[in-house]
């Protein structure tokens, strides 16, 4: 009797079919790869609808941090709460639900090369979410229109520019109407003149209700669109602040050095 009650309450705690609050809370999160610690006791609360930019040097664990949220990597210790609920030891069904609530956009787009833009989006809807083909295709077209790619629905990835491929990948990440979306350096693989079109799509998404966590080197995005900037290095969050404060009055010496190098690369030693 007692075990029956216990399993029922455990199952209900792990229901991610809908998020009441699209919040993400890191609680003492640590991650090691083998013996190598990458994240050491991260505490971070992202509120529903917030746009958070994650900055930090290469190798500091930015990708790891956001990949842990939808369990593309496994935690070493600590917990990540989504909607206030633990995401440790989820059933397969709960993990599937979680991943439909949390979209992910990769640096390298990761589109299927043998599928058109429309098919890339419809595929996930059909196979993961059980939509009927005709409905999935209609929804795919609406999503392509949302990212300005309606005309390219029948194009294969190789016929699209990097910026266009990334816009299709964003549309795909939005297919399941996620309440949280994670971006891992979405413009880093793009030619400079294509960065703007992807940032514009992200800008349109920001503050629309969806919670956004964006790993980026685009300082303009962090500055103008993020509600908060988080700087990580050495496995720790060294600084988190609203963009104005972060860029104008960084408090940690490491943040100041980083910003100096990024904002003024020809004079990285100047103060």
Q: How far is the CB of 56 from ligand ADP (least distance, A)?
A: 6
Residues 206, 225: Cα–Cα separation, whole Å: 7
Our finding on whether 235 is near ligand ADP (CB under 6 A) is no
Q: How far is the CB of 59 from ligand ADP (least distance, A)?
A: 4
Q: Whose Cβ is closer to ligand ADP: residue 22's or residue 52's?
A: 52
Q: How far is the CB of 184 from ligand ADP (least distance, A)?
A: 7
Q: How far is the CB of 252 from ligand ADP (least distance, A)?
A: 17
Tokens of residue 217, six digits:
């080197």
Nearest alpha-carbon partner for 147 in 108, 117, 125: 117
Q: What is the 3-state secondary structure (H, E, C) of 108-132?
A: CCCCCCCCCHHHHHHHHHHHCCCCC
Sorted by sequence, the CB contacts under 8 Å of residue 183 that are 6+ apart come out as: 66, 105, 202, 212, 213, 214, 215, 216
Residues 129, 197: Cα–Cα separation, whole Å: 29
Q: Whose Cβ is closer to Mg ion: residue 61's or residue 243's?
A: 61
Pattern of binders to ligand ADP over 62-91, x per CB under 6 A?
A: xxx---------------------------
Q: How far is the CB of 62 from ligand ADP (least distance, A)?
A: 4
Measured N-to-C along each axis, helices 162-173 and 192-205 cross at an angle, to the nearest 10 degrees, of 20
Tell how strand 236-241 and strand 228-233 pair up: antiparallel
Three-class SS state of 55: strand
Q: In degrees, to the nearest 5, what angle opens at C-alpha 238 toward C-alphas 234 and 240?
A: 140
Our finding on whether 56 is near ligand ADP (CB under 6 A) is yes
Q: Which does 61 bind (CB under 5 to 8 A by kind): Mg ion, ligand ADP, none?
A: ligand ADP
Which residues contact Mg ion (rule: CB under 5 A)? Answer: 63
Q: How far is the CB of 85 from Mg ion (least distance, A)?
A: 27
Nearest alpha-carbon partner for 186 in 133, 209, 172: 172
Our finding on whether 58 is near ligand ADP (CB under 6 A) is yes
Q: Other C-beta atoms within 10 Å of 256: how many?
A: 14
Q: Whose Cβ is closer to Mg ion: residue 59's or residue 84's?
A: 59
**CB under 6 A: which stretch of 13-21, 52-60, 80-88, 248-256 binds ligand ADP?**
52-60
Residue entry with tokens 């971006």: 183
**CB under 6 A: which stretch of 57-65, 123-131, 155-163, 237-245 binds ligand ADP?**
57-65
Interactions with ligand ADP, residue window 22-51 (CB under 6 A): 33, 38
Our finding on whether 172 is near ligand ADP (CB under 6 A) is no
Q: Whose Cβ is closer to ligand ADP: residue 62's or residue 172's?
A: 62
Binding site for ligand ADP (CB under 6 A): 33, 38, 56, 58-64
């Amino acid at each position: 009797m007692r075990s029956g009650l216990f399993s029922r309450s455990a199952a209900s705690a792990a229901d991610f079919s809908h998020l009441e609050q699209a919040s993400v809370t890191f609680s003492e999160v640590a991650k090691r790869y083998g013996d190598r610690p990458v994240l050491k006791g991260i505490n971070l609360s992202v509120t529903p609808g917030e746009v958070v930019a994650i900055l930090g040097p290469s190798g500091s664990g930015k990708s790891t941090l956001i990949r842990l949220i939808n369990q593309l990597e496994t935690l070493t210790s600590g917990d990540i709460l989504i909607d206030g609920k633990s995401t440790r030891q989820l059933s397969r069904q709960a993990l599937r639900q979680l991943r439909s609530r949390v979209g992910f956009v990769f640096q390298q787009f990761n589109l299927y090369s043998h599928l058109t833009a429309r098919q890339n989006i419809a595929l996930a809807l059909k196979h993961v979410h059980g939509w009927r083909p005709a409905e999935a295709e209609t929804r795919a077209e609406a999503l392509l229109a949302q990212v300005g790619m309606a005309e390219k629905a029948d194009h294969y990835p190789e016929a699209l520019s990097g910026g266009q491929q990334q816009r299709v990948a964003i549309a795909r990440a939005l297919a399941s109407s996620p309440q949280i979306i994670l971006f891992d350096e979405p413009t880093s693989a793009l030619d400079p003149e294509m960065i703007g079109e992807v940032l514009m799509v992200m800008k349109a998404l920001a503050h629309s209700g969806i919670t956004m966590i964006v790993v980026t080197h685009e300082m303009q995005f962090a500055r103008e669109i993020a509600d908060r900037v988080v700087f990580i290095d050495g496995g720790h969050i060294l600084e988190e602040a609203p963009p104005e404060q972060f860029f104008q009055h960084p408090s940690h010496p490491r943040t100041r050095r980083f910003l100096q190098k990024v904002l003024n690369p020809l004079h990285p030693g100047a103060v």
